[in-house]
């Protein structure tokens, strides 16, 4: 990790630095302003920190959180009245009534590595733990990658037999119309006591009875495509057996929901070994895209009134495009450094690093990024086509060129690539 400190407002009074402030840059992606307290020249400076959600967190070699992501933490779209994600959340909650189910909608997105991975049985070598997949605040703290990060704590609290957790979650991911580094999940779970269910015919009989008694709905989505769904076997570290529900949407099968029987280690570790459970996780954006006919996941983050004023709490209405602006395609091709040259301090390159660079430079003006690998021996040549498009205005070519130039600069500075052309 490379830390670059740019000092500002530096003065020296009676052998002490006063008002030292500046900017931390981590791998050219993370930028945070900070301020150090007054200290004696004989005392070491306080370590740099990030302020998130009103608290300070130490920066270390694991830190890979960009300013683009941190600035979105206060948005909490699933709690915004009349927002499609809030409407979708409330619709699902209405099918899981209290007091059996409690709703948890304002849990902090900042969790420990133990909560996010260890408490759920993630193997130490699981790819989800990688810095290329997860936003690390530091080596011990992450932005949750799933609402399941709160599952063990909620089980342990024992305040209800069932619960729904709705929250924003964060993953370093591809750039296209159905993926965004911040999305919203709903975690649902229900626990049954084996002993308490014996008098009612056992756990299977009780589950069937409860399913039949759940409220039904007559909601029809706004999509013009006929609804096609399928169940496929899946793997999750914290449920077994597990399944995924996929929906056919715009020519592709789209994962919509994952579920399964809760691994018995979770209730055992939560001091409720007599209980057996079922859990599911569903992406609110993907359901909302189907219900409202919203074609691009970036639209959920729009502040344009032409988008926001189309929706009303408690109603499902089809999204009406307010305009369509032209795309602006830009290519960037480069050679990756050889393994010998990369050993001189440059970090290795991952596809998600390219996505993160583009997001941090272009924000939501990047619609998708496609990769092309040249069949060459020796050095690896990569080519990415970046589609810049604003959902709210015409994007000028000069602006796209400026963004493209910044992307190339970061690639060279941080990964030692040789840009081709």
* Per-position pLDDT tens, the chain of length 421: 344 444 444 333 333 333 344 444 544 444 554 444 444 556 677 889 999 999 999 999 999 998 889 999 999 999 999 999 999 999 999 999 889 999 999 999 999 999 999 988 899 999 999 999 999 999 999 999 999 999 889 988 889 999 999 999 999 988 888 889 999 999 999 999 999 899 899 999 998 998 888 887 666 665 566 778 999 999 988 899 999 999 887 788 888 899 999 999 888 888 888 899 999 999 999 899 989 999 999 999 999 999 999 999 999 999 999 878 888 989 898 888 876 444 445 567 888 888 998 988 988 888 888 876 555 555 667 889 999 999 888 999 999 999 999 999 999 998 888 898 6
351 shares a domain with 298: no
344 shares a domain with 303: no
The answer, yes or no, to whether the previous bond of 99 is cis (omega within 30 of 0) is yes
378 shares a domain with 262: no
Read off the tokens for 333.
């091709």
- By the 8 A CB rule, do 393 and 318 touch? no
Q: Which residues contact 397 (CB under 8 A, 6 or more apart)?
A: 328
In a domain, 250, yes or no: yes
Give the count of domains, the chain. 2
- By the 8 A CB rule, do 185 and 166 touch? yes
365 shares a domain with 294: no
Could you say which of 280, 309, 338 is where a domain stops? 309
Read off the tokens for 344.
């001189």
Q: Using CB atoms within 10 Å of the CB of residue 413, give its burial: 0 to 12 exposed, 13 to 18 middle, 19+ buried.
A: middle
Instruction: Please state the pTM of the whole predicted model.
Output: 0.78
CA–CA distances in Å: residue 214 to residues 98, 194, 208, 280: 11, 21, 10, 16
Q: Which residues contact 351 (CB under 8 A, 6 or more apart)?
A: 174, 371
Which CATH number fits the domain that encloses residue 402?
3.30.70.380
Read off the tokens for 118.
């260890």
198 shares a domain with 131: yes
What's the distance, Cα to Cα, between the start and end of the chain in Å? 28
Return the ∠ at Cα 260 (arms to 259 and 265), rounded to 5°. 125
245 shares a domain with 387: no
Q: What is the dihedral of CA 334, 132, 63, 148, to 10 degrees?
A: 160
376 shares a domain with 245: no
Q: Give the β-pairing of 381-388 and 275-283.
A: unpaired
305 shares a domain with 333: no
d(CA 101, CA 160): 6
264 shares a domain with 333: no
Range of the domain at 244: 49-214+227-309
């Amino acid at each position: 990790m490379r830390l670059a400190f740019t000092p500002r407002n530096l003065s020296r009074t009676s052998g002490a630095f006063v008002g030292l402030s500046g900017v931390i840059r981590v791998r050219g992606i993370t930028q945070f302003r900070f301020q150090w307290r007054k200290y004696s020249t004989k005392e070491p400076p306080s370590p740099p920190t990030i302020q998130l959600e009103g608290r300070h967190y130490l920066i270390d070699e694991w830190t890979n959180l960009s300013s683009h992501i941190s600035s979105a933490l206060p948005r909490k779209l699933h709690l915004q009245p009349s927002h499609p994600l809030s409407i979708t959340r409330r619709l699902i909650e209405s099918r899981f009534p209290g007091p059996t189910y409690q709703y948890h909608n304002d849990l902090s997105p900042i969790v420990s590595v133990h909560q996010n991975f260890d408490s759920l049985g993630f193997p130490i070598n699981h790819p989800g733990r990688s810095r290329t997949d997860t936003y690390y605040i530091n080596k011990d703290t992450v932005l949750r990658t799933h609402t399941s990060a709160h599952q063990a704590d909620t089980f342990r609290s024992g305040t209800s037999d069932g619960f729904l957790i709705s929250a924003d979650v964060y993953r370093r991911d591809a750039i296209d119309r159905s993926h965004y580094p911040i999305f919203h999940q709903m975690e649902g779970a229900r626990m049954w006591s084996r002993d308490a269910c014996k008098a009612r015919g056992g756990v299977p009989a009780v589950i069937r009875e409860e399913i039949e008694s759940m409220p039904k709905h007559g909601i029809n989505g706004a999509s013009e495509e006929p609804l096609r769904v399928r169940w496929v076997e899946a793997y999750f570290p914290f449920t077994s057996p597990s399944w995924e529900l996929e929906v056919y949407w715009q020519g592709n099968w789209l994962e919509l929901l994952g579920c399964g029987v809760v691994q018995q280690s979770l209730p055992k570790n939560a001091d409720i070994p007599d209980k057996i459970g079922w859990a599911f996780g569903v992406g609110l954006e993907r359901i909302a895209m189907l219900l409202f006919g919203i074609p691009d996941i970036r639209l959920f983050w729009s502040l344009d009134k032409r988008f926001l004023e189309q929706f009303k709490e408690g109603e499902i209405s089809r999204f009406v495009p307010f305009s369509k602006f032209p795309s602006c395609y830009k290519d960037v091709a480069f050679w990756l450094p050889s393994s010998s040259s990369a050993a001189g301090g440059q970090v290795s390159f991952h596809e998600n690093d390219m996505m993160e660079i583009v997001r941090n430079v272009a924000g939501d003006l990047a619609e998708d990024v496609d990769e092309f690998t040249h069949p060459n021996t020796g050095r690896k040549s990569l080519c990415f086509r970046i589609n810049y498009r604003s959902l709210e205005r015409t994007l000028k070519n000069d602006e796209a060129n400026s963004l493209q130039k910044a992307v190339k600069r970061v690639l060279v500075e941080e990964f030692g690539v040789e840009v081709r052309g």
